[in-house]
Each structure stands twice: as C-alpha cells, then as structure tokens.
Amino acid sequence: MNNTQGILNDHQHLDGLLRDLRVVSGWNPALFLEPSVRARLLRDLGALHARLVSHFAIEERGSYLAEIGQRRPAARPKLEKLHAEHRALLDQVEGVLNLCNASPLEGKFDRFDFQRNLLALLNALHEHERQETLLIQEVFRAP
Ligand SMILES: [Fe+2]
Ligand SMILES: [Fe+2]
C-alpha cells in the first residue's frame, strides 16, 4: 500500500496546485494581458508540468499496476486507460504554456482563448485524478 499511499498524497499536493490555478483562471481575462500575471502563470504552469511528469512516471512504474492487477484484475483496463491519458494531459499543459508565452504586444495572445484552454486543462486534470483516486480507494479499501 506504500506506493498507492504515495500516489494519494501526490494527488492532494496536485489538488493544491490546481486550486491556485483555478482561482487565477476565474479572473477577468483582461488581467491576463498583464506581464506580471502571465509571469506568475508561466511559473505555476511550469511547476504543474514538472510535478505531473514525475507523478505520471511514478504511476506508470510497474509495481502500482501489478498491485492493482493482483488485487482486482477487472480494474486493469480502467487503469490502463487512465495511464494512456497521461501523454495527452502533458500535451495539453504544454499547449497552455505555449499560449501563455505568446506575446500580446505582437497581437499573438488571445486572453479568451487562453482562459478557455486553461479551464479545459484544469477540468481534464481534475477528472483524471478524481477517477484515479476513486479507483485506488475502491481497490484498496478494507474488505
Ligand atoms: Fe494518472
Ligand atoms: Fe494521478
């Protein structure tokens, strides 16, 4: 259970990062034109990306999958589907980082498009981690 407990702890830490970004995502889009706000967003999105890379790597390590498979073979397809989402989620973070990096001075930054994509990313990550947490709790709950 150590490995899965670590993953659940990681999910709590990710929740904190996602909560902060969700607050910013609800701001008036005009604020995203401010260099200081975009600098903060770039920092937070960069931290999120780094965190996800290590989090997904831990989840994809064999022992976690093997443990779930042993306890609940029927859960394997769902777990494999969740793991298959990791690359797409990282691509989505990288896409939002690129949008955030675009220069408003050159007319390349669309604050509404950025906000839409940021919200879509936060929703996708929340849903992914929620489903994983449910699966872990279901498989490892006491009989
Ligand atoms: Fe995951
Ligand atoms: Fe996860």
CA dihedral 49→3→127→123, nearest 10 degrees, is -20
Calculate how far, in angstroms, residue 63's C-alpha sits from the geometric centre of ligand 2.
15
Would residue 68 count as lying in a domain? no
Is the predicted pLDDT of residue 141 greater than 80, yes or no?
no
Q: Residue 19, CB half-sphere, CA atoms under 13 Å: how many? A: 6
Would residue 66 count as lying in a domain? no
Would residue 122 count as lying in a domain? yes
Would residue 16 count as lying in a domain? yes
Would residue 64 count as lying in a domain? no
Which pLDDT score is estimated for 50?
A: 96
Would residue 128 count as lying in a domain? yes
Which domain, by its residues, includes 107? 2-49+80-140
Which pLDDT score is estimated for 68?
A: 78
Which pLDDT score is estimated for 2?
A: 59
Calculate how far, in angstroms, residue 108's C-alpha sits from the geometric centre of ligand 1.
32
What kind and span of H or E run contains 10? helix 2-25
Find the ligand nearest to 89 CA.
1
Calculate how far, in angstroms, residue 42's C-alpha sits from the geometric centre of ligand 1.
22
Tally of structural domains, the chain: 1
Quick one: which of 48, 40, 45 has its CA closest to 13? 48
Find the ligand nearest to 83 CA.
1
Calculate how far, in angstroms, residue 97's C-alpha sits from the geometric centre of ligand 1.
20
pTM to 2 decimal places: 0.89
pLDDT digits (tens, 9 = 90+) for 89-106: 999 999 999 999 998 888
Q: What is the mean pLDDT of residues 38-48?
A: 96
pLDDT digits (tens, 9 = 90+) for 56-82: 998 887 667 677 778 888 888 888 899
Check residues 143 and 124 and name the one with the higher pLDDT.
Answer: 124
Would residue 59 count as lying in a domain? no
Q: Residue 113, CB half-sphere, CA atoms under 13 Å: how many? A: 13
